[in-house]
Structure 1
């Protein structure tokens, strides 16, 4: 049965996906950049390993984008601490990861080569990793199947299967069983994920499955410690400010008008508006929109100056500083929950902020924990958003209670990266 899915994937599904990607690259700059990067990857691997010892231990880590890289960053750091001579090969699917990541622990950075069998066999002739580790979701079948045939230990960390996932449904279940059942080891986030994945791979698979948590908690805590070593300001001593982080147009449609009305009625509330992918035209549009509404507007346009001006609404036109800006606020709204799924809710939580977000959050275990603990609030309408915002900010007790609950979610989940590093070395 496994061979049926391998043939179906290689003869129909992946070729169709490849054609769609080629077509999409004609119109989308990010897709085009990723495709061009993949074309040159085999040559880059060959060039890097040409004059290096083939006897060195190689760990190949893969993440889809920058967000998933943050998940494996503490694991890479831990592997390097224990085995400093190890070569770390890091691959990405998206330019957002490839372009943003520069770290001393990474020896070779590439785009993941195309998922064609002949490409993968060619790559494995050049490089023979001891382990190939995938972050969470971006798992490409041929790398798993061919890796297993070549006796390469393939692993996925922070693995999750959501409620009502396609992976558990008829037909899809059989496809994913052939993939997950071919892995050497799988490290899940929760016990519930462990049970679902164990059921998915079946009793006949030799896959090692362990509950080891999500290393993003460690990454967020480490970065927060580095930044906040001298920032001990109490939440209640901060300015009464809301950060709307990683905002999509769909978030804007839901909360923008109610928020403007609320700000006009409550002049003491200040807002940092942070678009997900800011552009010059978008920033100009937002400035005009907020000014026409009667609000004073400022702009943060530099990564090197985190001083927030005194205008009631300040727009952030650069990327890469959001996690630090959370420390200058009392509450956060995290975008993406009305479109592709919420972005990082750990960063505001470690900054001691209650976190509000939209209904598409089920891919994020940390969001579920925030809701359960009382540190997170899910909204489906602009009215609900204003209701939660008003209740949180109108009571010092409610604010501090929600703040403590949010931060506690991070602290009680710390330690996963150490467990994963031990697992990778042991299994």
Structure 2
């Protein structure tokens, strides 16, 4: 049944690729993957394979890739993605020797792919459980590790009807899971080789913090050298429901400067944001100059790659997505020692729950709850600073998963 589903998905992507640019990139990338491997694989080299579904999972695997690269240069790194949103952004990543799409998990694709590369070890990040690839690796006695994985009782592996597919979990040599619940769930279906190490994303955001960029135009916008400058609110990865809430507040309050880095950077979305802003001077980052940015009230980041560094300039952060499919990366903001606000769809995000529990994160339900929080931060600077310190300490306290994993892997 699994293989029938995989062939159906492959056929669906093939047909849909004629009408969807993203799926066309995926289809072409999957078709080219084995050819790329045949051209680039060095026959005598030892490859460690990292597979990430998309960009978020890649960021979780990245600390491991870079630590292995540093400590064990004798290995080559193969990095694969399933989604174009991962591959297209990181196809030129210098930490890997070969980067390709991963073809759909049919038996034929898996055999062709692994005949060419023959990895000596594999790391599958978080939710990646590809039945055919994993069974072939197990048959070849290749160690395979699941990294930063997290399990919940409602997943198919723990249902009576999912026992057949659940056997895929027995292909892993070891699970490096995020929490005790995941370890206990695996134990109940007979998988004992699981170790609680936490989430490598905590290590990654600390790396990002260390490598953050100075942004002169942002510094000019916030008037960084002015002693009594206004406080700065940074809204990262925002969607329209988020923007409708926080812009309603800032239209009435002039004591803050506002930086908005929307999740979708397109003219329609940018026009939507502008339509919500009343009686404020707004500058887009790509149009900013030293002359026009310093007296602006709102700076809209209309390009990619700056958000993690922009958080550095904030006093309070808002992370979007909590009124849709789920919040984006709250750790990138929290690492900068500031309180983090987000919408109600955060229950499946352990890091958001941790911030809420400790007092460094705050849930927003509507304009009223947002206003109450922001008024509290504005009126009580000590409270704002304390919450920020708690957020930063939370990130620091949960770092170290990378070292725990690599100390339990034989390289």
Indicate which of 276, 292, 307 corresponds to 2:263: 276
Structure 1: distance between partners of 2:152 and 2:26: 28
Paired residue for 2:220?
A: none
Is 2:130 the partner of 1:140?
Answer: yes
Structure 1 window deviating more from structure 2 (107-116 vs 133-142): it is 133-142
> Residues 392 and 326 of structure 1: is their aligned pair in 2 closer, same or farther, counting only changes over 3 Å?
same
Is 2:64 the partner of 1:78?
Answer: no
Deviations 1:276-329, CA, capped at 9 Å, x for gaps: 120133223433442xx2222111128999x96432222111011001111111
Paired residue for 2:344?
A: 359
Summarize the alignment of residues 26-425 of structure 1 with structure 2, pairs less than 5 Å apart.
26-49=18-41, 52-54=42-44, 56-101=45-90, 102-162=92-152, 164-172=154-162, 174-199=163-188, 202-203=189-190, 205=191, 208-227=193-212, 239-252=230-243, 256=244, 258-290=245-277, 293-301=278-286, 309-425=294-410
SS in 1 for 2:409: helix
SS in 1 for 2:51: strand
Is 2:5 the partner of 1:9?
Answer: no
Unaligned runs of 5+ in 1: 1-7
TM-score with structure 2 setting the length: 0.90
SS in 2 for 1:227: coil
Deviations 1:52-90, CA, capped at 9 Å, x for gaps: 233x32110011122211111110111112210201000
SS in 2 for 1:301: helix
Paired residue for 1:5?
A: none
SS in 2 for 1:265: coil
Q: Is the 8 A contact 1:243 1:273 kept in 2?
A: yes
Aligned residue pairs, count: 401
Unaligned runs of 5+ in 2: 217-223
Structure 2: distance between partners of 1:224 and 1:141: 37
Q: Is the 8 A contact 2:50 2:80 kept in 1?
A: yes
Structure 2: distance between partners of 1:302 and 1:416: 41
Structure 1 window deviating more from structure 2 (100-109 vs 394-403): it is 100-109
Q: Is the 8 A contact 1:98 1:111 kept in 2?
A: yes
> Residues 197 and 259 of structure 1: is their aligned pair in 2 closer, same or farther, counting only changes over 3 Å?
same
Residue 150 of structure 1 and its aligned partner are, at CA, apart by 2.5
Structure 2: distance between partners of 1:27 and 1:353: 44
Deviations 1:22-56, CA, capped at 9 Å, x for gaps: 3443443222211211111010011112xx233x3
SS in 1 for 2:259: strand
Structure 1: distance between partners of 2:228 and 2:196: 39
> Residues 154 and 289 of structure 1: is their aligned pair in 2 closer, same or farther, counting only changes over 3 Å?
same
Structure 2: distance between partners of 1:322 and 1:197: 36
